[in-house]
Structure 1
Amino acid sequence: MPHLEGAVVLVTGANGGIGAQFVEQALARGARRVYATARTPRDWDDDRVVPLALDVNDPASVAAAATTARDVTVLVNNAGSLPAGASILDLSDEEFRAGMETNFFGPVALTRAFAPTLAGRPGAALVNVHSVASWYAFGGVYSASKAAMWSATNSLRLELAPRGVHVLGVHMGYVDTAMAAHASGPKMSPTDLVSQVLDALGRDEFEVLADDTTRAVKAGLSGPVEALYPGLVAPS
């Protein structure tokens, strides 16, 4: 694929199921180097993989990563967190802010830090992993943070295009990872998700709707709110 042959990729949340697939599939598609980041990086037993400590909530850690990985051509914002409670009203202030920091402020800060590195490089791309929760509010602060990140991705797409950086947003329902272990119902595999994403990146697409649930929810945004949330009852 044109974006990955000889590319240098940085993946956040690389220890998780989706992140690990980004690392492995990027290499399989010809990436020259992959920075596999996490708060506590793991060993990969592959000279092409550079484990890199990164806490997206820590400005000093973000700045250090941007200084170390100056050769990056593809940035994958994959790291995220799902607070234990879904209710915006019931979370503590600390829990609410932590959810917004990890899922919104952190990836935006990382993108801002790497934008000068990406600008003008052949095959430069930004991949932001969102969720169907960007459009469907089942997850309280998680949904709110993903909706904010979707909006930021749209803005970044417009701002980075003149600098030669392609921006791809990824939306999906449940994926079979530890984060979704609590959920029932169908789950797509991390392998299938990442394969779709990298295929779309190679075709210069702007958005991935990875499953039927996500496609249906996005289509429903043009309808009335009560059609998307049938549990709503109008005041009498």
Structure 2
Amino acid sequence: MELKDAVAVVTGANRGLGRHLAAQLAERGAKVYAAARRPESVDLPGVVPLHLDLDDPRSVREAARTAADATLLVNNAGIMTGTPLVAGDWDAVRLEMETNFFGPLAVTRAFAPVIEANRGGAVLNVLSILSWFHPAGVGAYAAAKAAGWAMTDAIREELAPRGIEVTALHVAYMDTDMAARVPAGQKTDPALVAALALDGLAAGAQEVLADDLTRSVRQGLGGAPSAP
């Protein structure tokens, strides 16, 4: 996909990886809607703050009406509560699935007709190495990201006839608030991850693997990204 003159909606664009994705898209010549639950927290120059709350279907629909010129959706927003599946708080488990799976799916469903009407474009889903590797201590997050991987592969096939490409970004630890407790030497610069993701998106890649650990785990799975 050509990123220059694209019209991008980036969820969770007020901090972390989302902020880098929004900033770099703008640098590459895209118009950027920087979506967040609190749009007043978006402090990037040259972007359009946009209210979007993954847990509020009305705000999702309104965002799609506002950003009616969108050609690119970046599903970046998400949470990690550190909740195990059996012993963990049930409401936290449900929150992880609602925010990390149903939320991006709802946004995709809202924006797919918009992107199609604008002669096609792309969706970038920010996933995780934990789509494939499932530690018990973060079981809720891993389950949601595994579901997100399946969703990404399924919608890639579903949206292709509508002129919409779908790319998955998989990454391990980044130097963001979500991984604040992880030692610095184990984390990747989110600015680098954003650049790799956008390069892959521009090249039409189905998957972008952002670090050596992620590439190693993915290689162990075998098969093509969308093997039938």
Give TM-score, length-normalised by structure 2. Answer: 0.92
Deviations 1:102-136 (A, max 9, x none): 10000000000111011153561100000000000
Do the aligned partners of 1:120 and 1:165 also contact (CA within 8 Å) in 2? no
Q: How far did 1:67 drift?
A: 1.0
Residue type of the alignment partner of 2:68: R
Cα distance in 1 for residues equivalent to 2:48 and 2:29: 15
Do the aligned partners of 2:11 and 2:34 also contact (CA within 8 Å) in 1? yes
Q: How far did 1:86 drift?
A: 3.4
Structure 1 unaligned regions, length at least 5:
223-236
Equivalent of 1:81, from 79, 82, 89? Answer: 79
Match of 2:98 in 1: 101
Structure 2 unaligned regions, length at least 5:
223-228
Residue type of the alignment partner of 1:79: A
Deviations 1:135-190 (A, max 9, x none): 00022110000000000000000011111011100001100001100123511101
Output aligned runs, 1:38-57, within 5 Å: 38-41=36-39, 42-44=41-43, 46=45, 48-57=46-55
Output aligned runs, 1:1-236, within 5 Å: 2-31=1-30, 33-41=31-39, 42-44=41-43, 46=45, 48-83=46-81, 85-119=82-116, 121-122=118-119, 124-138=121-135, 139-184=138-183, 185-222=185-222
Q: Which has the larger radius of gyration?
A: 1
Do the aligned partners of 2:10 and 2:75 also contact (CA within 8 Å) in 1? yes
Do the aligned partners of 1:3 and 1:125 also contact (CA within 8 Å) in 2? no
The count of aligned residue pairs is 219
CA-atom RMSD in angstroms: 1.6
Give TM-score, length-normalised by structure 1. Answer: 0.89
Cα distance in 2 for residues equivalent to 1:45 and 1:218: 34
Identity %: 49
Cα distance in 2 for residues equivalent to 1:45 and 1:188: 22
The structure that is helix-richer by fraction is 2
